[in-house]
């Protein structure tokens, strides 16, 4: 693997040099006023990225998995019923966590490659006339399959069923890269991490709690200590943490939020959509298919690409690393060996994306797949080429 090459895994993502320098800082007294000047702006920045004015933000030294656990343990009690759809490895892992915590999970089995079935959520919730289901889990972007789901539709299904359950959303590989509207979608707990859209190393679980979710904390009885948001609230109130905070990463988070907001969230989302469109154009040119079964389910942060029947897609990832020093993502769970993944999120440009597309072409050609060198690159260039688009506009 070459550290000079960008990575094309769906996280951790490529890190801007300015963020790398921001987290590389001298030891700071985390009980000093200097820490408060890092902590509170970082929290305020996250609120803006989540598009919320009312949610409380909590940042733990952890990862997205810790964020999942924070969402569950602060709002639920053992034996509570939870509704979730399993449509990939990460929704599966969140379901597994629920079961390990003694929650009663109603699982809607969904083909890997499809988005969350809002209609089935509504059907189950309508049948729950006693409102025994306490929370609905939704994975916004299923990283294993490159599938994005419509969270607004899930909320609409809950509202149509007139159901009071909490809506807990995994936005680990979407927040900061794709549009996420915590307030507009009435999300009760939003979960993400530092290592994807925020372009930082792994190490922070970032969680937003609505006022409704915060109220549920007072009656929830699942055991929690490290992830108790009440302790974090007390820490924030005196400009600190309930334990030693990851000062450097928080300093990086503050700057990362500023970078996203300075670029403009709509511009960030458009950049990801454009880069993803180029990758999808390349996949079409190669004669391959995405795992995402419909265009509306195609993620703007990661593409899971199916290889021909009988070909082990993991060989692409291994060969790319060993021969060209470039990292792509392997298939996970039900799609292991059937897909390889190109992550296209975080600090990425059109030109950097072309390097990944070109390398993937060389790898597949090396391994005997019927891939014409330059075909995917040319297709992506047609998407990315600003000069050509400008000339077409002028000619029109």
- Report pLDDT digits (tens) over 97-109: 999 999 999 999 9
From CA 11, how far away is CA 174, in angstroms rounded?
11
Q: Which domains does the chain have, with CATH numbers?
A: 17-262 (3.40.640.10), 265-395 (3.90.1150.10)
Q: Is the pLDDT confidence value at 1 over 80?
A: no
pLDDT, position 32: 84
| Residue 134, helix vs strand vs coil | strand
Q: Which three-class secondary structure state does DSSP give residue 101?
A: coil
Cα–Cα separations (whole angstroms), residue 71 to 34, 103, 150, 295? 29, 13, 20, 30
Q: Dihedral sign, CA of 281, 287, 291, 292? A: positive
pLDDT in tens, 268-308: 999 999 999 999 999 999 999 999 999 999 999 999 999 99
Supply the pLDDT for residue 393. Answer: 46
In this prediction, residue 391 has a pLDDT band, given cuts at 50, 70 and 90, of very low
pLDDT of residue 302: 98
The pLDDT of residue 353: 97
160 pLDDT higher than 90:
yes
Rounded Cα distance between 375 and 286, Å, is 7
User: What does pTM read for this prediction?
Assistant: 0.95
Q: Distance between CA 236 and CA 251 in Å, rounded?
A: 16
pLDDT of residue 394: 45
pLDDT tens digit sequence for 325-378: 999 999 999 999 999 999 999 999 999 999 999 999 999 999 999 999 999 999
Position 388 scores a pLDDT of 52
Question: 39-79 pLDDT, tens per residue?
Answer: 999 999 999 999 999 999 999 999 999 999 999 999 999 99
Least confident of 164-173, 211-220, 381-390: 381-390
- Model pLDDT, residue 33: 86
Nearest-Å Rg of the Cα atoms of the chain is 21
19-42 mean pLDDT: 92
pLDDT cut 90: percent of the chain above it: 94
Question: What is the pLDDT confidence band of residue 29, given thresholds at 50, 70 and 90?
Answer: confident
Query: What pLDDT, on the 0 to 100 scale, is given for residue 28?
Result: 87
Mean pLDDT (whole number) for 221-230: 97
Kindly report the average pLDDT of the chain as a whole number. 96
- pLDDT tens, residue by residue, 206-219: 999 999 999 999 99
């Amino acid at each position: 693997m070459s550290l000079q090459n960008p990575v094309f895994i769906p996280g951790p993502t490529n890190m801007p040099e300015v963020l790398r320098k921001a987290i590389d800082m001298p030891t700071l007294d985390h009980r000093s006023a200097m820490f408060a000047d890092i902590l509170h702006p970082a929290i305020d920045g996250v609120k803006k990225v989540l598009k919320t004015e009312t949610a409380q933000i909590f940042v733990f030294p952890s990862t997205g998995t810790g964020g999942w656990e924070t969402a569950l343990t602060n709002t639920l009690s053992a034996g509570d019923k939870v509704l979730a759809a399993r449509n990939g490895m990460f929704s599966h892992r969140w379901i597994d966590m629920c079961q390990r915590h003694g929650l009663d999970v109603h699982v809607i089995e969904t083909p890997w490659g499809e988005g969350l079935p809002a209609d089935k959520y509504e059907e189950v919730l309508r049948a729950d006339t006693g409102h025994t289901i306490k929370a609905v889990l939704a994975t916004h972007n299923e990283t294993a399959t490159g599938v994005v789901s419509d969270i607004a539709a899930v909320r609409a299904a809950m509202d149509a069923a007139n159901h009071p359950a909490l809506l807990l959303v995994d936005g680990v590989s979407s927040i900061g890269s794709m549009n996420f509207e915590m307030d507009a979608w009435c999300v009760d707990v939003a979960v993400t991490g530092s290592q994807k859209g925020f372009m930082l190393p792994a190490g922070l679980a970032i969680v937003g709690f609505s006022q409704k979710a915060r109220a549920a904390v007072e009656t929830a009885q699942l055991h929690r200590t490290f992830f108790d948001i009440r302790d974090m609230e007390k820490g924030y109130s005196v400009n600190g943490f309930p334990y030693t905070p990851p000062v450097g990463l928080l300093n990086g988070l503050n700057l990362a939020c500023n970078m996203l907001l300075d670029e403009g969230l709509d511009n960030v989302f458009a950049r990801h959509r454009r880069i993803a469109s180029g990758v999808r154009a390349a996949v079409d040119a190669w004669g391959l298919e995405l795992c995402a079964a419909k265009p509306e389910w195609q993620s703007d942060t990661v593409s899971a690409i199916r290889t021909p029947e009988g070909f082990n897609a993991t060989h692409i990832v291994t060969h790319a690393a060993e021969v060209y020093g470039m990292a792509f993502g392997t298939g996970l769970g039900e799609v292991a060996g059937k897909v390889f993944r190109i992550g296209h999120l975080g600090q990425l440009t059109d030109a950097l994306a072309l390097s990944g597309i070109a390398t993937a072409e060389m790898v597949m050609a090396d391994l005997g797949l019927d891939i014409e060198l330059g075909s995917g690159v040319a297709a992506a260039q047609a998407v990315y080429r600003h000069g050509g688009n400008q000339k077409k506009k002028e000619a029109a």
